Amino acid sequence: MINLIKVKEKQKEASENAASKPQIKEQSASELRVHRDINELTLPPICTINFPNGKDDLMNFEVSIKPDDGYYNEGTFPFTFQIPILYPHDAPKVKCKVKVYHPNIDLEGNVCLNILREDWKPVLNINAVIYGLIHLFTEPNYEDPLNYEAANELKDNPSLFEINVHRAMWGGYVHEENFDRVVD
């Protein structure tokens, strides 16, 4: 009987000690992978990463791209990244936060990038996605469009496309659609 009382006292003491210690949050496999991906990022100077919910929420962050070449030179294009619970088996959900006149980004900010869809593989990482986005700004692809009007214009009349990109980047209207100003 005495042993039973001592065991109960030790259990109570152990639970009180555990309650006074800060709880360590267990991380899911996807959170561990995202943490590794972010630690291994090699961002070029034209990119910045921001964690609007703080560094504790690695599953939601923003990346801004400021191309220094091409049609979109000097604009700043912020993207939200939402990492799904099944990452890296499922691709991140990426959206452009501003309305941009681009063949591969629709007016709602959806991005047409093959590695975010059918070509996604678990060996890819956030770095690959960011470089894919940069590539969309240096070499827009009219062959795989989300904005068909911009794609056709790029293919058939690149000089008019360039004029419309600049008009849109300054917050102007293109084809009766008002765009967000992305130039500082």
Contacts of 62 (CB under 8 A, 6+ apart): 49, 50, 51, 52, 78, 79, 80, 81, 97
HEC readout, 100-136: CCECCECCCCEECCHHHCCCCCCCCCHHHHHHHHHHH
Mean of pLDDT values over 39-51: 96
Give the pLDDT score at 132: 97
Q: Residue 184, Cβ neighbours under 10 Å: how many?
A: 7
Give the pLDDT score at 87: 97
Cα(15)–Cα(18) distance, integer angstroms: 5
Mean of pLDDT values over 37-61: 95
The pTM is what?
Answer: 0.84
Q: What's the CATH architecture for 29-178? A: Roll (3.10)
Set 111, 112, 130, 151: catalytic member: 112
Mean of pLDDT values over 23-37: 83
Q: Where are the domains of the chain?
A: 29-178
Mean of pLDDT values over 126-152: 97
Annotated active-site residue 112? The verdict is yes
Least confident of 20-24, 52-56, 113-117: 20-24
Whether pLDDT at 168 is above 70: yes
Give the pLDDT score at 19: 56
CA 21 to chain CA mean position, Å: 35
Joined together, the tokens standing for residue 159 give 């000089």
Beta-bridged to residue 94, according to DSSP, are 81
Mean pLDDT estimate for the chain: 91
